[in-house]
Amino acid sequence: MATGIQAHSLSTAAPQASAPGPFALAPAPLLALTHDERFLALLRRCSDPRPLRALGSEIDLSAALLEAHAGVAVLDCAAVATPVEALTARLAAQFPELVLVVAGNGAEQGTLSAQIAAGGVHRFLHKPLSEQRVRLFLESAWRRHAEAPLSRPRAAAPRRPRVRAPLIALLLGFAALGAYLFWPAPPLAERPAPRVAPAPAARDAGLEALLTRADQALAAGTLSGAPESAAALYQEALRSHPREPRALAGIAQVAERLLAQAEAQLQDKHLDAAQQLIDAARGLQADQPRVAFLAAQLDAQRERLVLGKAQRAAAAGDLAGALALLDEAGRGGQNSTLLSEARAQLAQKQLAARIADFLLQARSAAEHGALLAPVEQNARFYLESALALAPTDPAALAARAELAARLQSQARQSLAAGNPEDADTYAAGAADLGAAADAVAALHAAAGKLRETTRLAAERKRTEGLFQERLREGRLLEPAGDSARDYLQQIAQSDTPADAQAARSAFAARLVDAARGALEAHDTGSARRWASEARSAGASPTELATVEALVQSAAAAEDVPAYVNASTLQRTRYLAPVYPSAAEARGLEGWVDVQFLVQPDGSVADATVVGAEPAGVFETAALDAVRHWRYQPVRHDGQTIAQPARLRVRFTEHR
């Protein structure tokens, strides 16, 4: 999501061998969106002598593509905030001359397979990277760029003459500030739609009809403000079904579209229309982070309008009129006492006193915590008002440095409080006031890391909740992908060892309970399976020994054959296990102990894992293979019988 807060590049482009002529295009730079310094160093070696421009965010990338004559861009999936397939599709549509190279893992390549096949993404670099492969891919990308003529050539912009008049310089400064604050966000159509869970088979007919009308209104662009608008219809659905996921997702889509329209209105400076759209979105999702952000942008633009009027008055020589406008805005719209002073030129002493008054108000607002809000009554506004009157005043410049430092401190406090959105806003405000680029970039990076940490924590909480729910439901091993065992594997990979051990103990205890239940039902085969699963899960040795003794007793009573080593049986069909790609990429090796039942017809049934090293890596691949094996039927006393068997499946790189 474009926020209008400008980030800073992680490094600068490599120096060029010679300066181009006044009308020559500079060599096309290689753009690299990544946070990996080793990757950047590798790209610099492979792109030499072409210039390399390193970028830290998607906002930097958009700005660089608009201002630079770029031919090739390298995107590191680890540095992309939005889904990479959406970003590459947008870049291919907006910059058809740009050749894209993406670096990431196998899963990320899968999401881009269609674009790679269609040519929208030229090459995909698998991590870890080799210098030879990177060099070959970059050379191929530059050749492709050279073969296709640029669809939108850009001429070098002529150098503007330097203007020394302070008021004209002031106008240029505010124009740059306005362009910075209102950089457009990506179109809504490029944002991935929320994933909505499929509806159950049985649905209330009235609800289905209501949601259909709401979806049609959403598709037609009738978002809010009418009885048959998408917002009204989704809200009506929620009144009768408060937890309906499709209605909740629809409300979120309506809010997103309203905010996208608000951004467009802000960009066109239609502030009242933008206010109405933001208010409508706030009524649907008050806690949507972009609502507060766009409201802040709207307030800032209103401030800029007032400041722009004052600047135009000052540029025309009407200094008193400029002061009157600023004073009126600073007093919240009350009549200014400076109107009577517009009849004559202000003396230098009067100007200094007015500047001191703005600085005093700025200091007072800062001490009360009003750094960036409320609109036209905050420290930044008062300080910029003073700088609009005297851009080189030492006291105003010192106050600007002080406020920039205070904003950075406030950003760090927001990070400590777990609020990355506020941290980004304060960091952007510090950047506006001239804070060091590396310090601002570090704050934005910390905010991004905090957002990711928060997301992972929410995902862990969701996984733990599903695990507990499957335990209560007794869905311990089935269905595949949605069982307690599946969620236990996710917990083991992401949670702390203590949390993972607690979950494993709870899972093992439920397996022991299941084995006891099978024994009570006289189902010795199922009891044996549950006991084996409990042993693999690390059940209490005392409880496990008791259950296994009961299983052995029941098996003996039923004359069930004992387990044999599968290598002693004659296998008639073999399917080799598929080495997991993730394990192969990491160079992992291991083994899985599997027990199963060779049925009278030679097929394999009841295949279960009784041990694995490392856990959670090779089990699925081993089971998938063993279940397809067949054996020569086992005969006992002239009869074919079902024979329990055990086998260790090994996974090595030289298998």
CA–chain centroid gap for 79, Å, is 9
- Given a cut of 50, is residue 494 above it in pLDDT? yes
Confidence of residue 69 (pLDDT cuts 50, 70, 90): low
Percent share of the chain, pLDDT over 70: 79
Q: What span, in angstroms and rounded, lies between the C-alpha atoms of 11 and 52?
A: 9
pLDDT at 411: 92
179-194 mean pLDDT: 43
What pLDDT was estimated at residue 408?
93
Q: What is the pTM of this model?
A: 0.32
- pLDDT tier at 646, thresholds 50, 70, 90: very high
Percent of all residues in the chain with a pLDDT value above 90, rounded to a whole number: 34
The DSSP code for 2 is -
Query: Has residue 361 got a pLDDT over 70?
Result: yes
**Residue-by-residue DSSP string for 240-281:** HSTT-HHHHHHHHHHHHHHHHHHHHHHHTT-HHHHHHHHHHH
Pairwise pLDDT comparison (80 vs 632), residue with the higher score: 632
Q: Is the pLDDT of residue 176 over 60?
A: no
Residue 374 zone, left/alpha/beta (φ > 0; ψ -120 to 50; rest): beta
Question: Which tens digit of pLDDT belongs to each residue from 207-236?
Answer: 999 999 999 999 999 999 888 899 999 999
- Residue 594 CA to residue 2 CA, distance in Å, equals 51
Going by C-beta distance under 8 Å and a sequence separation of 6 or more, which residues neighbour residue 366? 379, 403, 406
Looking at residues 252-262, what average pLDDT do you find? Answer: 93
Bigger pLDDT: 501 vs 445:
445
pLDDT tens for each residue of 16-49? 333 444 334 457 788 999 999 999 999 999 987 8
Mean pLDDT of 427-433: 92
The pLDDT tens digits for 376-412 are 889 999 988 988 888 998 999 999 999 999 999 999 9
Query: Pseudo-torsion of CA 352, 312, 169, 304, nearest 10°?
Result: 90
Phi, psi (deg, nearest 5) at residue 440: -65, -40
Q: Span 570-583, mean pLDDT?
A: 93
Q: How many CB atoms lie within 10 A of CB 496?
A: 10
Answer for the pair 606, 525: CB distance below 8 angstroms, yes or no.
Answer: yes
- Say what the pLDDT of residue 373 is: 87
| 116 vs 105: CA distance, rounded Å | 14
Band (332; pLDDT cuts 50, 70, 90): low
| Residue 492 pLDDT class (50, 70, 90 cuts) | confident
Q: Give 502's pLDDT tier (boundaries 50, 70, 90).
A: confident
Nearest to 84 by CA among 190, 212, 9, 196: 190
Specify whether the CB–CB gap between 404 and 371 falls below 8 A.
no
The reported pLDDT for the residue numbered 63 is: 75
pLDDT tens by residue, 197-212: 444 444 688 899 999 9
519 pLDDT band, cuts 50/70/90, is: confident
- The answer, yes or no, to whether residue 348 has pLDDT greater than 80, is no
Contact between residue 30 and residue 43 where contact means Cβ atoms under 8 Å apart: yes
- Averaged pLDDT for residues 260-276: 91
Q: What share of the chain is helix, strand, coil (3-state, %, to 5)?
A: 60, 10, 30
CA 424 to chain centre: 15
- Averaged pLDDT for residues 276-282: 93
Looking at residue 440, its pLDDT comes to 92
Split at pLDDT 50, 70, 90, the class of 526 is: confident
Report whether pLDDT(2) > 70: no
At residue 592 the predicted structure's pLDDT band, cuts being 50, 70 and 90, is very high
* Confidence (pLDDT) at 460: 86
Question: Predicted confidence band at 265 (pLDDT cuts at 50, 70, 90)?
Answer: very high
pLDDT score of 12: 33
- The chain-wide mean pLDDT, for the chain, equals 80
pLDDT higher than threshold 60 for residue 196: no
How far, rounded to the nearest angstrom, does the alpha carbon of residue 203 sit from its chain's CA centroid?
Answer: 33
Query: What gap in Å lies between CA 126 and CA 134, rounded to an integer?
Result: 10
Q: How far apart are CA 78 and CA 40, in angstroms?
A: 13
pLDDT at 26: 59
